[in-house]
A and B are shown apart, each in its own frame.
Chain A
Amino acid sequence: MPRKVAVVAGGLSYFSKARRDKTQEELAAEAARMALFDNDINLSKDDIDGTIVSYFSDHFENQLLFGSIIQDYLGFNPKPSVRIEGGGATGGLAVRDAYAHVASGLLDVAMVIGFEKMSEVNTAKGNEFIALASDTDWDFPIGGFYSGYYALMAKRHMEEFGTTEEQMAMVAVKNRNNAQHNKFAQTNPKMNPYAMKDGGKITVDDVLKSPYVAFPLKRLDICLMSDGAAVMILASEEKAKKITDTPIWITGTGAGTDAMRAGDRPRTLSGVPMLPHEKKEWYKELEYPGVHSFRAGRESARQAYKMAGITNPLKQLDLIELHDAYTSSEIQTYEDLGLTKYGQGGKLIEEGVTALDGDLPVNPSGGLIGAMHAVGATGVMQGVEMFWQLQGVAGKFHGSDKTQIKNAERGLIHSHAGTGTYVTATIMER
């Protein structure tokens, strides 16, 4: 039997387009210090038994084995450490790996250290490095890059289900405007000293009028590229109860995968992995997964729900931190997570279900569009956010009470790589 595992602390750095004031390891220290000193815990640095280090690319710094630099810089030698990498899902996979380390008994107290510093190359080169995480024999040489791949998938979702650019714009507005109450967010110049100058609130019109990057995706439909770090501390049940009065339990975790080239995914009828509340006949006519949906996201949710005993996610979850790399992929993911039927994701945002004051708020932090996307830190940031939300202290950390979801008891964090190649879903509960 696996041991029960809790999150007991979290910390973030300020996120920024370019944190030239600090090195990558100094950013990790900024987040680790917050995790150790700003949470209400009875834990010292020496109580950490090992680390899980989460970063995506060796290219951004042209430094291999950066995990070792982190382990050394933060003073954890000679304790065990492992580096986890899985594209955009690096952070989610690292949280899952830390869970496994503690659940299995390999570690009693584990620190997850996520970071990325993407600013040391220009934006076009950064996009190229990220595009190297697509098939470099076939998809990259024709000029493929991620906004293009997601645009192709978004266009197919529109064609298949009638999703609109306005609905996508609503996602951008929700996430960007949520971020205006989160002091760590890159688009929040009022509260974050390292924020972009042209941040602040936006409207649907602003999004629709922003220039196309890859039709149908516009500049404001697309996530940020960030420098920053995020740190979580996980502990076994026995340790957790000594460390804090309010441990937040990890009660479910799932991971799914799909083809590196989205075109290689099967196109079969009724190929949808079903969730408990769904009916086979809903999807009789649906070619699945095709390029309109993320089978890996569905599979990760299916496993996590089963483990946590969730039979109706819309009713049983109080909030979600979702990997909104694109506004379109947030809409697609609503469906993969079973918050609504396949094809109805656009309606969910339109009806305000996922708004801060909706039935199931998604990305109160601002997500990747409003707050940050420092790849290796992203999934860990979601875990930190969920931890603070479920402890009821999000307001204290964000510097504003507006983002705290009242009486939140259970939430899901969703981490996503590639064109949906690796996806994780993890359930956290008070």
Chain B
Amino acid sequence: MTEVYSFDPLIIKTPYEITYKHSYGKTTKFFTSLSDGKLMATRCDHCKQTFLPPRSDCPYCLRETKWVQISGKGRIHTFTTLYFSGEKFLKDLPFQLVYVELEGVDTLFLTRLKTKDMKKVKVGMKIKMKISRDPEWRSSDIWAEPDE
């Protein structure tokens, strides 16, 4: 039965749900490598650029890239603490997001920072990437922690 929110003006409630079958295509290897404890990025030898998130094709020259393993160590480039979010993540609040400069990677990588002391977080702080043992097959399967 249609749920009515108001009669003047007439406002009805209409729910909508959908499930996508989403392919990661050639970047599948990033997610499958995580189960072996490996963090993989892609590299264009021609342009000498390493990408994370991985790109299968180099945006600079459009040659195909190759997979390279990275250490997952790095530093915080910038951070934020969220006190509000999209509907899906309201339950996680507050949490921190960081752009990290990772060893051997030319792009900045956006990820969650998980730390006991959010107040101590600073630009330039050392971090290391962690891999979930319980994969959801999303980018949230990896995150940064302080590297003390």
Contacts and interface: CB of A to CB of B under 8 A. Distances in A.
A152 B87 contact: no
A124 interface: yes
Interface string B82-120: 111111111010010111000000111111100000000
A143 interface: yes
A211 B83 contact: yes
Nearest to A136: B22
Contacts of B110: 138-139, 142, 144, 152, 261-263
A428 to B, nearest CB: 34
Interface string A146-175: 011001110110010000000000000000
B140 A124 contact: no
Contacts of A264: 51, 53, 59, 107-108
Interface stretch (A212-220, A234-242, A368-376): A212-220
B61 interface: no
A212 B90 CA distance: 15
Nearest to A145: B86
A252 B78 CA distance: 36
Contacts of A190: none
Interface range for B: 35 or more
B83 A142 contact: no
A138 B139 contact: yes
Q: How large is the interface on A (under 10, 10 to 19, 20 to 34, 35 or more residues)?
A: 35 or more
A20 B87 contact: no
Contacts of A128: 86-88
Contact of A137 (B53, B85, B97, B123): B53
B82 A291 contact: no
B14 interface: yes
A8 to B, nearest CB: 34
Nearest to B96: A215
A152 B95 contact: no
A264 B99 CA distance: 11
Nearest to B142: A142
A58 B102 CA distance: 37
A263 B85 contact: no
B133 interface: no
A231 B110 CA distance: 38
B16 A142 contact: no
A156 B79 CA distance: 8
Nearest to A137: B139
Contact of A159 (B89, B112, B123, B139): B123
Nearest to B55: A264
A285 interface: no
Nearest to A213: B84
B2 to A, nearest CB: 15
A20 B139 CA distance: 38
B4 interface: no
Interface in B116-145: 123, 138-140, 143
A308 to B, nearest CB: 31
A267 B101 CA distance: 11
B77 interface: yes
Given A215-B81, A263-B110, A125 B139 contact: no
A137 B112 CA distance: 14
A127 B87 contact: yes
Contact of A141 (B9, B79, B85, B138): B138
Interface in A253-272: 261-264, 267
Nearest to B98: A152
B11 interface: yes
B80 interface: yes
Given A137-B139, A141-B138, A263-B108, A148 B53 contact: no
Contacts of A143: 82, 85-86, 88-89, 92, 95, 97, 112, 140
Interface of A: 20-21, 62, 122, 124-125, 127-128, 131, 135, 137-145, 147-148, 151-153, 155-156, 159, 211-217, 261-264, 267, 291
6 contacts: A142-B97, A152-B80, A152-B98, A153-B78, A155-B80, A291-B99
Given A143-B140, A155-B123, A216-B80, 6 more contacts: A62-B14, A135-B53, A143-B88, A152-B80, A212-B81, A214-B81
7 closest A-B pairs by beta carbon, nearest first, are: A128-B86, A263-B108, A151-B80, A156-B78, A143-B89, A124-B87, A141-B138
